[in-house]
Structure 1
């Protein structure tokens, strides 16, 4: 099989301490009227006021929507779009965590193409370019500043929904790690777990046959030579700095490394995609109302264990990126990757089981059934999934018994290999 390299991203990424001071110039280059989307917490800070002044100082009229809620309820897209229709922005600026950036991206779609957010659920349903988005993250986690997806919560659906399109990639990402210094330890840990999961899942995702049509048929094409580079960078930076930044929130060097790791993970997932841990988190999050990063972090070691028979070389590379001895055998290193990942997540307070998160014991099968409906994520998993397989992962993650997945996998390893040759 020839080498496949595929990568989507913003036209510009400005990364580093102090890069926020370029926001005025960046925004003014895209128009004279800006709609700024943020949440009440960040919207009440001195940093936010300063950022608005920078934009206004560049000659741009600013309208602020400072009501973004966690997990973006879909009705907020309509509310913000109604405001946008009155002020007719040339550019939408998202400032804050992933929810703020996702709302900015979804609103940019509705401003450009009309209708409502639900018209664009799924992949490749945005018909053309959207109002340009400038994304300025204040957490190191989602990578939304460089991705082609906006995730929303719709009360008419059990799990979260996404709008996925190359047109959703922000025009410019302004990533200033100094803006994460005020992020509390619990949010830092949850966001960091999300970033780590993005890197691991995109690096271990399915590898599809390289065809000229692949990038036009799918938003997320699977692992490839370019996303692998970003994924391993994300693994290394988060592994080296997550615990450090949780224990010492004022550590500027660690904050910088974490934001770079999150952005790298965003580049990886934005083209390769994520898989089973994210599919399962959606129903888990819906039932337990826990942060997204907590759910995927709790699930990730179990998904890695399930996928181990199909991804030993990749897991070995993950272990090396986390500091393991590269002279060990791939099999030993694959085990070490799972152990190191579980230990890292546990060290920053991510629960080790779904029982700790509060998943009801009578909803395990239901969780698997709901996760299976996330077709894009299920199909991106490197080892085939059905509802029974997803339930095995859920039950192992509920009880904390990763060994059950290892024992279950052994007789299937040969079958998987044979199927791959057909």
Structure 2
């Protein structure tokens, strides 16, 4: 067996209604003012308001940036970072799918270390711990709440670049299956297949280890058993829990084993 290493540096809360633990997590982290990064779609369906109400009812100030777009750009990152610095927050809450989480990691980097976000492109260019992030995923797909990657689009060069550093891992993740139970069937399907492919690619990776294999195997079991039921009925609590946990385990597996050709080809496509 070859040498391998891993660490579990995060605090993860899982369960129906676990979103309500957010104020206590913030207080335990010493956060009196938070910066919530999300998108207009989640604002429109009331998810942003639900989260901000929980924060404010806990006696904590909250500033929001809601202009995240799919395949987020350098412009979006710069806008959000400027507002973060201006508002005086000390913690970032990343609410949504992969895009808000990617932007949150990039904002956390710029707010701590400055410069241009392209300065951090590549592997292990982030010099230390970034601004604390609490990740609240609203899809069972990306696994970004437990991965070390942030993918940003450079509009001028018309390409996506990746920042890969374990310093960008969110400090906390709240996995509340209720947040994915209103997703459209098409979104549930696309995100679920994405999570399944994460697990498969990590399992087949040349960089896999017994640790990443264990996470990938459990992810494939959970997603394989629950994906069809979840697409059929997003209100199926058991299926939603299985998909949320499976997506998370798949994310952990590829955070340490990396991905393969499917995701490599997706970037130029």
Report if TM-score (shorter chain) is over 0.5.
yes
Distance 1:225 1:264 in 2: 14
SS at match of 1:250: coil
1:38 aligns with 2:38: yes
Deviations 1:203-222 (A, max 9, x none): 1101xxxxxxxxxxxxxxx2
**Greater Rg by CA:** 1
Distance 1:122 1:9 in 2: 22
Distance 1:7 1:160 in 2: 27
Q: Who is 2:68 aligned against? A: 68
SS at match of 2:24: helix
The 8 Å contact of residues 9 and 267 in structure 1, kept in 2 or not, is answered as no
The 8 Å contact of residues 81 and 111 in structure 1, kept in 2 or not, is answered as yes
Report 1 or 2 for greater relative contact order, CA contacts < 8 Å, sequence distance ≥ 6: 2
Give the number of the structure whose residues are more often strand, by fraction: 2
Distance 1:273 1:77 in 2: 25
SS at match of 1:79: helix
SS at match of 1:151: strand
1:21 aligns with 2:6: no
Deviations 1:81-103 (A, max 9, x none): 01011012210000011111111
Distance 2:183 2:5 in 1: 33
Distance 2:68 2:8 in 1: 24
Deviations 1:162-185 (A, max 9, x none): 111011100000000110011111
The 8 Å contact of residues 227 and 271 in structure 1, kept in 2 or not, is answered as yes
The aligned runs of 1:13-412 (5 Å cut-off) are: 13-30=12-29, 31-206=31-206, 222-284=207-269
Deviations 1:186-212 (A, max 9, x none): 111111111011101111101xxxxxx
SS at match of 2:154: coil
> Structure 1: which 5+ runs fail to align?
207-221, 285-422
The 8 Å contact of residues 28 and 55 in structure 1, kept in 2 or not, is answered as no
Q: How many residues align?
A: 268
Question: Structure 1 residues 159 and 238 mapped into 2: Cα distance closer, same or farther (>3 Å)?
Answer: farther
Cα RMSD for the two superposed structures? 1.3
Distance 2:201 2:80 in 1: 33
Distance 2:253 2:202 in 1: 6
- The structural deviation recorded for 1:61 is 1.2
> Which 4+ runs in 1 deviate beyond 4 A?
none
The 8 Å contact of residues 7 and 267 in structure 1, kept in 2 or not, is answered as no
Q: Who is 2:10 aligned against? A: 11
Q: TM-score, normalised by structure 2?
A: 0.96
Deviations 1:53-99 (A, max 9, x none): 22122232100001110111121000000101101221000001111
> Structure 2: which 5+ runs fail to align?
none
Give the number of the structure whose residues are more often helix, by fraction: 1
Deviations 1:128-153 (A, max 9, x none): 11100000000000000111111111
SS at match of 1:258: helix
SS at match of 1:129: coil
